[in-house]
Structure 1
Amino acid sequence: MSILSVLYCEIRKVIRSNVFWLTFLVFLIGPLMMGIGIISAASVDEINWQVYLTQLPNTLAALGLIGYTFISAWVFGREFTDKTIKDLLAKPVSRERIVISKFLVILAWDVLLALFMFAVGFAVGAVSGLPGWSAAFVGDTFLRFFITSLLFIFITTPGALLANVSKGYLAPLGLVLLIVILSTVLSDMGFASYFPWTIPALFQIAGTLNMSSIIILALTGIAGTAGTFAWWRFAEQQ
C-alpha cells in the first residue's frame, strides 16, 4: 500500500468527521470576536490598520496553540477512542507510512486553519473600514503570522506522542491546559524565551529569536516527532 493511498485514507477520515468542520467554526468565531474586540476597545483616532494588525496576530496566538495541539492529539488519539487502531495496523502498510500520513494531514489541516484565521481577522478590519492601508505592512504581518503558526504547529508533536502513549486525546487536552497556565506564569517571570510553547509568540512580537530559543524549539519538535515514530515502531499495540 503506497504512501499516497494511506494519505488519501487519512484525508477522507478527517474531512468526513464533524471535528474537522467544528475547528473551522471555532477559528471563525475566535478571530471574529477578537477583531471586533480590538476595534471596539480603541478610540476612533487610535485605531488603524497598523495598530489592528499589530494586536490581532498576538491575540490569535493562544487560539492557534490550543487548536493545533488539539488537532495533533485528535488525529492520533481517535484511533484508540474509536477502537480502529487494530484495523489500521492490520492493513498491509508500514507503521512509518501511517505516522507520516497523519503528520502530513495535521500539517495541511493546521495550515488551512492558520490561513483561514488570518483571512477572517483581515476581513473584520476591511469591513470596518480601517484607515492607513499599506500592502507592504499587511504582507509583512501575514508572513510573520504564518511563520509563527508553523512554529506552533511544529511543537504540537509532543501532544501527538502523548495521545499515543495515553491511547486517547484526553491526556493531551490536559497538557494544553497545563501549557496555557505555565505560559502565563513563565512569561510573567521572564522565562518565555526558554519555554517551547511561548517561543513562537515571542517571534510573533519581535520577528526574531535568539539561538537558545531556536534550539529549545527544535529539540521539542524533534523529540515529539521521533518519540511518535518510535512508539509506533516499538510499542506493543493492544
Structure 2
Amino acid sequence: MNILSVLHCELRKIIRSNVFWIVFLVLGFGPIMMGVGNVLSSNAGGIHWEQYLTGLLDTLAPLGLIGYTFIAAWVFGREFSDRTIKDLLAKPVSRAKIVLSKFLVILAWCLLLSIYMFAVGFAVGAILGVEGGSAAFIWSLFFKFLITSLLYIFVTAPSILLANVTKGYLAPLGLILIIVILSNVLASFGFAPYFPWTIPSVFQSTGSLQLSSIVILAYTGIIGIAGTFAWWRYAEHP
C-alpha cells in the first residue's frame, strides 16, 4: 500500500467516527460564548472588529490547544483502546507510513477546526453588529491566527508520543490540563516566551518570536515527532 491509500483509510476512519463531529460541536461553543462576552463587555458606544477579533483570538487560540491535543491523542490512542492496533500492524504497509498518515490527518483535522472556530467567532460578531475594520485587517488577523494554530498543533507532538507510550489518550488529556494551569502561572511571571505551550500565544499577541522561543518550540515538536516514529519502529507491540 502506498501512502495515499493509507491516508485515505485514516481519513475514512476519522470522518465516520462520531468523535469527529462531536469535537466541532463542543468547540463551537467556545467562540460563541467568547464572542458574546466580548460584545456585552464593551462600552455603550459599541465594539469594532479590531477590538473584537483581537480579544476573541487571544482567548480562542489557547482553547484550540485543548482540542488539538485531544485530536492528536485520540487518533493514535484509539488504536489501543479499541484494540485495533493488531489489525493495523497486520496490513502490508510500513509503520512509518502509518505514523505519517496519522500525522497528516491530525494536521488537516486541527487546521479545519481552527478555520471553523474563526468562522463561528466571526459570524457571532457579524450577527451582534460589530462595526468597522477593513477586509485586509480581518484577513491579516485570520492568517496570524492560522500560524498560531500551527504552532499549537506542532507542540502537541509530545502528547502524541505520550499517547503511544501509555497506549491510550487519557494520559495526554491529563497532561494538557496540567500544562494549561502551568501556562497561566508562568505567563503571569513573564516566562511565556520560554514555555513551549505559551510561546504560540506570544506570537498571537505580538506577531513575532524571539530566536530562543523558536528554538524551544522547534525542539519540543521535533522530540515528539521523532520520538513517535522511533516508538513505532522499535517498541514492542501487542
Q: TM-score, normalised by structure 1?
A: 0.98
Kindly state the Cα deviation for residue 53 of structure 1 after the two structures are TM-superposed. 1.0
Letter in 1 for 2:19: V
Number of matched residues? 238
Q: 1:123 to 1:112 in 2, by over 3 A?
A: same
* Distance (Å, rounded) in 1 between the aligned partners of 2:146 and 2:6: 28
- 2:215 alignment partner in structure 1: 215
Deviations 1:123-174 (A, max 9, x none): 1111112121311210111111010001001111111100000000010011
Contact 2:10 2:105 in 1 (8 A): yes
- 1:133 alignment partner in structure 2: 133
- 1:5 alignment partner in structure 2: 5
- 1:155 alignment partner in structure 2: 155
- 2:42 alignment partner in structure 1: 42
SS of 1:118 mapped into structure 2:
helix
- 1:76 alignment partner in structure 2: 76
1:119 corresponds to 2:119: yes
Letter in 2 for 1:126: A
Letter in 2 for 1:92: P
Deviations 1:160-210 (A, max 9, x none): 100000000010011111110110111111111110000000000000000
Contact 2:161 2:228 in 1 (8 A): yes
* Distance (Å, rounded) in 1 between the aligned partners of 2:235 and 2:183: 31
* Distance (Å, rounded) in 2 between the aligned partners of 1:84 and 1:232: 15
Contact 1:27 1:116 in 2 (8 A): no
- 2:203 alignment partner in structure 1: 203
* Distance (Å, rounded) in 2 between the aligned partners of 1:209 and 1:202: 7
Q: CA RMSD in A?
A: 0.8
Letter in 2 for 1:61: A
Q: Which runs of 5+ in 1 are unaligned?
A: none
- 1:178 alignment partner in structure 2: 178
* Distance (Å, rounded) in 2 between the aligned partners of 1:190 and 1:63: 20
Letter in 2 for 1:3: I
Q: Which runs of 5+ in 2 are unaligned?
A: none
Sequence identity, in percent?
Answer: 68
Kindly state the Cα deviation for residue 225 of structure 1 after the two structures are TM-superposed. 0.2
Contact 1:27 1:117 in 2 (8 A): yes
Contact 2:46 2:130 in 1 (8 A): no
Letter in 2 for 1:136: A
Runs of 4+ in 1 over 6 A off after TM superposition: none
* Distance (Å, rounded) in 2 between the aligned partners of 1:197 and 1:127: 33
Contact 1:162 1:172 in 2 (8 A): yes
Letter in 1 for 2:141: T
Kindly state the Cα deviation for residue 27 of structure 1 after the two structures are TM-superposed. 2.2
Letter in 2 for 1:188: S
Kindly state the Cα deviation for residue 46 of structure 1 after the two structures are TM-superposed. 4.9
Kindly state the Cα deviation for residue 29 of structure 1 after the two structures are TM-superposed. 1.1
- For residues 55-70 of structure 1, the aligned pairs below 5 Å read 55-70=55-70
Letter in 1 for 2:227: G
- 1:166 alignment partner in structure 2: 166
* Distance (Å, rounded) in 1 between the aligned partners of 2:164 and 2:2: 23
Kindly state the Cα deviation for residue 45 of structure 1 after the two structures are TM-superposed. 1.4
* Distance (Å, rounded) in 2 between the aligned partners of 1:62 and 1:207: 15
